[in-house]
Structure 1
Amino acid sequence: MNRAHILLATLALAIVPAAFASTRDFSVGPQYDTTHVYVAAADLDAFVRSFTTTFAGQPTPPVVVTVTPTPSKTTSQVVRTSSGAISVFGFQTPVPYPFGQERTGYLVTNVDEAVKAANAAGAATLVAPFDDPIGRDAVVTFPGGVNTQFYWHTAKSTSAPLEHVPENRIYLPVQSADAFVKSFVAFTHGKVLSDERHAPAVEIGRSAGTYRRIRLASGFGKATVLVTDGHLDWPYGTELTGYEVGDLDATLRRARDSGATVVVEAHPEGDRRAAMVRFPGGYVAEIHSAGN
């Protein structure tokens, strides 16, 4: 790609769709956003204990609820940590489509209007807004098939700001990366922090070569788009979230002691050190700290 093509691609990402001009920012704060983790009901307790211990977090008591617009039953918990929160689901019934395919739950100020704004920015409504026991929800899919749940609670949520804001790690093919970034940035009122077209592929488990890495930020938190050809060694591409911590080595010790497995040992990646951890029940997370 020559310099003229790169300039045109950069300008394309900066163009805001006309339909987006009248929409507003529906974000509340990254401390209210949760990665959705689905585990077998039998693994739920072990997973929650391990994740809570690893990140020195605090879980809510488990409740059995219906969180879908059609009949279902799941045990649900939220674990809040200084590095981000997760919503955990251990379904006791089959999981209705398309639940389990969404990656993140974003708290918004108004679900119905947020869905309209996402549509205006190029996302499709995957699950139309519906009422749940404590609020209202919907699921949208951004270009590239990136499914995101919006939620709103009847009672106002109050959580302290995060010490470390996690990053949504989104693997996409080259054909859909630019469309996703344009749509996602428009809806979130976000910005492109960096677009490294020749990032070292060691960051995604390869021994040589490069890949494209795009870092985004908005009122919903951080996101990193990893543009690849899909030739990835496990566990790369299976992780949904990257968690920043103050002390990576201490965090990995707590992970091991609580039953998790470090599947990629700590190693330098540019301006960070990173590792990959598999928790009981199968959830894989990238964990990193700033500096080498």
Structure 2
Amino acid sequence: MNRLTLILTTALIAVTPATSFAREAPETATADHAIGPQYDTTHVYVAPGDFDRFVTSLTATFGGTATKKGEFQVTPTTSKTMSQLVLTPAGSLSVFGFLTPVPVPFGAERTGYLVDDMDAAVASARKAGAARLITTFLDPIGRDVVVQWAGGVNMQLYWHTTKPNYPALATVPENRIYLTSDVADTFLRQWSGFAHAKVLSDDKAAPGAEIGRPGTTYRRVRLSSGYGKMAVIVSDGQLPWPYGRDMTGYEVSDLTATLAKAAAAGVEMLVPAHDEGDRTAALVRFPGGYIAEIHAPVAK
């Protein structure tokens, strides 16, 4: 079974006692259904005319490989899309260029997460507070579902009859989720309960300059689980563009060199490299409109 076939079905702190969402976590633990972050992909939808340029710019920036492009139906209802899986050392992406209108609820899910048992994972997600946007559907080699967490955070869960085998990542990407305080603790409680996530840090007064709001502060929670890393960015929602449009942060060893490769591949700089405490970060826009954060750790 080749990698192209595998992607089709994906189509789609240390915590102190004062951390409120941790105190409210369910008492009964559920099983952890994660497989590994190399199987968890950011879903990117681009116009067909931008498809090839986007995929080429990704591998030029981060390295890695892409499966052969094809045209397929990857939803349970009639549709057709170009589809390609891009495997880079910094993270995996599922790229779609729909040739027909995109059926609901597809197009709004930010990630596809591989699980070891679909029914058990769905039951666990619902118990943790997620709602299904579409019930589990069959595909040629597995099953899929799209769920929504508090704050309108949409994710796809998928399962394969035969487990795929992707290379381990050099660095694990960061799912970047922007929320207001109205729902942040609820989302954190839900996701921590489902994903068995560990809170790495919870800075309630991070510098607002990190999200384009100098002179203010915001809450930044960083977590890690079998599904990879996550940054929950909690603010009043009054964010200057392009903050909030970035779905994923990619860690690289040399930010300057990576940004130079990106520029040569037609990637646009939106927010130049700047210090953010333990990292240096930039925001860029790839051909086709995909906006991402790229960062490198600061040497200690």
Bin the TM-score by the shorter chain.
over 0.9
CA deviations over 1:1-37 (Å, ceiling 9, x no partner): xxxxx9876144243325xx25211000001100000
Could you tell me how far apart the structure 2 residues matched to 1:174 and 1:8 are? 19
Which residue of 203, 206, 222 maps to 1:199?
A: 206
Q: Does 1:209 align with 2:184?
A: no
Shift of residue 219, structure 1, vs aligned partner: 0.6
Which AA in structure 2 matches 1:83?
A: A
Aligned to 2:143: 136
RMSD: 1.5
Which AA in structure 1 matches 2:24?
A: I
TM-score using structure 1 length: 0.94
Aligned to 2:97: 90
Aligned to 1:36: 43
Shift of residue 155, structure 1, vs aligned partner: 2.5
TM-score using structure 2 length: 0.92
Could you tell me how far apart the structure 1 residues matched to 2:86 and 2:122 are? 26
Contiguous gaps of at least 5 residues in structure 2: 1-14
Aligned to 2:229: 222
Contiguous gaps of at least 5 residues in structure 1: 1-5
Aligned to 2:81: 74
Could you tell me how far apart the structure 2 residues matched to 1:218 and 1:158 are? 19
The secondary structure found in structure 2 opposite 1:197 is: strand
Q: Is the 8 A contact 1:34 1:85 kept in 2?
A: yes
Following TM superposition, the consecutive aligned residue runs of length 4 or more in structure 1 with deviations greater than 4 angstroms are 6-9
Aligned to 1:121: 128
Which AA in structure 2 matches 1:88?
A: V
The secondary structure found in structure 2 opposite 1:175 is: coil
Which residue of 157, 160, 164 maps to 2:167?
A: 160
Aligned to 2:26: 17
Which residue of 267, 272, 275 maps to 1:265?
A: 272
Aligned to 1:3: none
Aligned to 1:289: 296
Which AA in structure 2 matches 1:221?
A: G
The secondary structure found in structure 2 opposite 1:151 is: strand
Could you tell me how far apart the structure 2 residues matched to 1:211 and 1:45 are? 38
Could you tell me how far apart the structure 1 residues matched to 2:150 and 2:60 are? 36
